[in-house]
Amino acid sequence: MYRYDEFDHAFVNSRVAQFRDQVGRRLAGDLTEDQFKPLRLQNGLYLQLHAYMLRIAVPYGVLSARQMRKLAFIARKWDRGFGHFTTRQNLQLNWSKLEDAPDMLAALAEVEMHCIQTSGNCIRNTTADPYAGVAPDEIEDPRVWAEVIRQWSSIHPEFLFLPRKFKVAITGAAEDRAAIAFHDIGLRMVKGRGENAGKIGFGVYVGGGQGRTPYVALPLNDFLPREHLLSFLEATMRVYNLHGRRDNIYKARIKILVNALGVDEFRRQVMAEWSKIEKPSIDLPASEYQRIAKYFAPLALAPKPNEDNVIAARRASDAGFARWLRNNVMAHKIAGHRIVNISLKEPGKVPGDATSEQMEAVAALAEQFGHDEIRVTYQQNLVLPTVALSDVGKVYDALLSSGLATGNTELITDIIACPGLDYCSLANARAIPVAQEIAKRFADPAKADDIGPLRLNISGCINACGHHHAGNIGILGVDKKGTEHYQITLGGSPKDDADIGSILGPSFPAEEVPDAIETIIGVYTSGRISKAESFLQTYRRLGAKPFKEALYGPSKSSTQRIVEEV
Amino acid sequence: MASAFSPQVVTANRLRVGDVVYLAANDDWVPELTDASVATDAAQLSALEAIAAKAVASQQVVGVYAIDVDVSAGSPKALSVKERIRAARGPTV
């Protein structure tokens, strides 16, 4: 992984010292809250429902064991001994104190971490495929470019005060595991065709996003030579910075601009801007690319047999292990190795939460069996990207003893949920307890296995931090005359077939949501052609009608009911 | 005709540590909503807000606002879900 150079260390340490001084001046009364608030937000410190919340950047979701141990230490010493992994592959500590924040940042700086640009109208942490560098379907490791973007976008003087926040995601694989279609800019590494045959570049997508106006990103550039990534991003950002709306926060994201102009006109303006840019002054020199790429050099792994008799025997005799192996352990690009997903979604627990002890357990596994690498996924889970097949059983046993061996990756209980009204001052409704009740309803592993791959996402408000628009089943918490209600959408997808879910009908009170989900699942399991047909495939084949009728009855259309409800 | 005034209390977070607090008698900031001073008319609310403004200026609290409460049972109880969760000083899970 990337290691800070002298400049990086000096910069991050100077920001810690600067923030320590700012906090001191705030506590002494030399700064008002109006003056101080933008400064604390620039360092990831929010004031939430119960306390301050510190959002820690995990660049493109990559952590070393040392960094994970430090996160555990910080959570234990200055917070309440746990943290919440987010859909931006970051970590949030929900019980921070302003007076402790400078010390927390100083501790992070010791392990080359910080909270810079985890808030504000700037370019946020770039998210990436959590299997980057190890996936068998990968064209090129996107971490190198994610790091390039991190360095380019950090305190970029032009882009620190954009019309609104800006999110970039990148994948280098054939399968999109980074939800690039739901980002302001999505980057997919592609092989060139025709005149670009033999080259690797980027497919660039723009204007995706969730929130109150969800859009799937549109193609901006089918093949961008990779050496021009930064100048092209710069041109795109300049067009957005110039024309993005600053008069209305709800219309300020780039998706609104792209869809107002039309993607063809937006592209024309980007190309015009790009043509004016002196590219060598912005694009990364090949030597610098090579310097950064060395940090992400593939591990020197010797291929091994892809079968292991001990693993095979245990799979036959231990149903829990077999399930975990089937759902959480993925193929690795080097034979005899595996990608191990660590679920933070034990039914009944808070999705995405990990205790300090669990963080330390994962760090220990990364050190002992995982080549010191950990990834955070946007689905709020963790990954050990490289484990020898022969060690997989030992990893499972250790995870089991830490309460981390739930074998439910990509199943109905692998629920994305934002903090919701239990923590977040923006939320309209709670997300966590609804997620817990649904997960408990489907806690029987055989039931979840029978349902098969299914994304169920919950957001506590229209800002959609829980990615409800992209869920095969999405749940949105709304405030209905002072009570928490939940609107259900079906048909969303965050993957290559990206789509936005459609509202099924009137909302439900919290206590009725698990029943509603069970009804929806019943329509799916009775209507699927075979177990090989996923929930999303069945929904797309059947349409919404049978699901609506099962939930609301055939006598009235859901439109009528919505009108009556209003 | 003026609309009826809903009973309100003034809440904030302690600046240093972020804890949820409510303005109570003797200009104290207390953690329990049930101990808060209740404004039953606009003048009382203005008086509480003036006290709160001084507490903001002296770096005691941050993020001051008034919330509607139900006082039918005697001590104030938050009306909104959000304020009930805040008053519980922790998540419901």
In A, which residues are within 8 Å of B63 by CB distance?
A: 33, 47
Are A95 and A79 spatial neighbours (Cβ–Cβ below 8 Å)? Answer: yes
- State mean pLDDT over A495-514: 98
Distance of residue B42 Cα from the nearest chain A Cα, in angstroms: 23
Instruction: Provide the pLDDT for residue A32.
Output: 97
The boundaries of the domain holding residue B20 are 8-69
- State mean pLDDT over A172-177: 98
CA A266/CA A258 separation, integer angstroms: 6
Q: Residue A554: which pLDDT band, with cuts at 50, 70 and 90?
A: confident
Candidates B15, B56, B85; nearest CB to A49:
B85
- State mean pLDDT over A511-535: 98
Number of domains present in the structure of chain B:
1
CA A313/CA A50 separation, integer angstroms: 50
- State mean pLDDT over A213-241: 98
CB contact under 8 A, A422 and B91: yes
Candidates B17, B57, B91; nearest CB to A423:
B91
3-state secondary structure A244-255: CCCCCHHHCCHH
A314-347, pLDDT tens digit by residue?
Answer: 999 999 999 999 999 999 999 999 999 999 999 9
In A, which residues are within 8 Å of B19 by CB distance?
A: 50-51
Which stretches in chain B have pLDDT values below 70? 1-2
Candidates B20, B89, B92; nearest CB to A430:
B92
Which chain A residue lies closest to B83 (C-alpha atoms)? Answer: A49
Distance of residue A355 Cα from the nearest chain B Cα, in angstroms: 15
Give chain A's domains with CATH numbers. Answer: 6-110 (3.90.480.20), 134-294 (3.30.413.10), 309-401 (3.90.480.20), 416-565 (3.30.413.10)
CA A86/CA A469 separation, integer angstroms: 16
- State mean pLDDT over A183-212: 97
CA A523/CA A548 separation, integer angstroms: 10
Q: A168-171 and A185-191 as β-strands: parallel, antiparallel, unpaired?
A: parallel
**What percent of chain A has pLDDT above 70?**
98
Instruction: Provide the pLDDT for residue B4.
Output: 87
- B74 falls within a domain: no
Which string of DSSP letters, residue by residue, matches B37-93?
Answer: --B-SHHHHHHHHHHHHHHHHTTSEEEEEEEEEE-TTSS-EE-SHHHHHHHTTS---
User: Is it the case that residue A362 has pLDDT exceeding 70?
Assistant: yes
CA B6/CA A445 separation, integer angstroms: 50
Quote the Cα angle for A351-A357-A358, to 5°: 40
Are A58 and A120 spatial neighbours (Cβ–Cβ below 8 Å)? Answer: no
Instruction: Provide the pLDDT for residue A555.
Output: 59
- B93 falls within a domain: no
Residue with tokens 């927390």: A104
- B83 falls within a domain: no
Interface probe for B, chosen from A37, A39, A52 (most Cβ of B below 10 Å), is A52
In A, which residues are within 8 Å of B92 by CB distance?
A: 422, 430, 433
CA A491/CA A390 separation, integer angstroms: 39
Are A491 and A505 spatial neighbours (Cβ–Cβ below 8 Å)? Answer: no
Distance of residue B43 Cα from the nearest chain A Cα, in angstroms: 26
CB contact under 8 A, B18 and A52: yes
What is the average pLDDT value for chain A, to the nearest integer? 96
Which chain B residue lies closest to A427 (C-alpha atoms)? Answer: B82
- B52 falls within a domain: yes
Instruction: Provide the pLDDT for residue A286.
Output: 96
In B, which residues are within 8 Å of A27 by CB distance?
A: 15-16, 59
A430-476, pLDDT tens digit by residue?
Answer: 999 999 999 999 999 999 999 999 999 999 999 999 999 999 999 99
Are A490 and A539 spatial neighbours (Cβ–Cβ below 8 Å)? Answer: yes
Q: Residue A566: which pLDDT band, with cuts at 50, 70 and 90?
A: very low
As for the ipTM of the complex, it is: 0.96
Distance of residue B35 Cα from the nearest chain A Cα, in angstroms: 18
User: Is it the case that residue A401 has pLDDT exceeding 90?
Assistant: yes
3-state secondary structure A516-566: HHHHHHHHHHHHCCCCCCCHHHHHHHHCCHHHHHHHHCCCCCHHHHHHHHC
- B88 falls within a domain: no
Which chain A residue lies closest to B91 (C-alpha atoms)? Answer: A422
Distance of residue B75 Cα from the nearest chain A Cα, in angstroms: 21
In B, which residues are within 8 Å of A95 by CB distance?
A: 18
- Can you point out the beta strands (E) in A333-424? 337-342, 353-355, 374-376, 382-388, 416-417
Q: A456-459 and A473-480 as β-strands: parallel, antiparallel, unpaired?
A: parallel
- B77 falls within a domain: no
Q: Residue A122: which pLDDT band, with cuts at 50, 70 and 90?
A: very high
- B37 falls within a domain: yes
User: Is it the case that residue A185 has pLDDT exceeding 60?
Assistant: yes
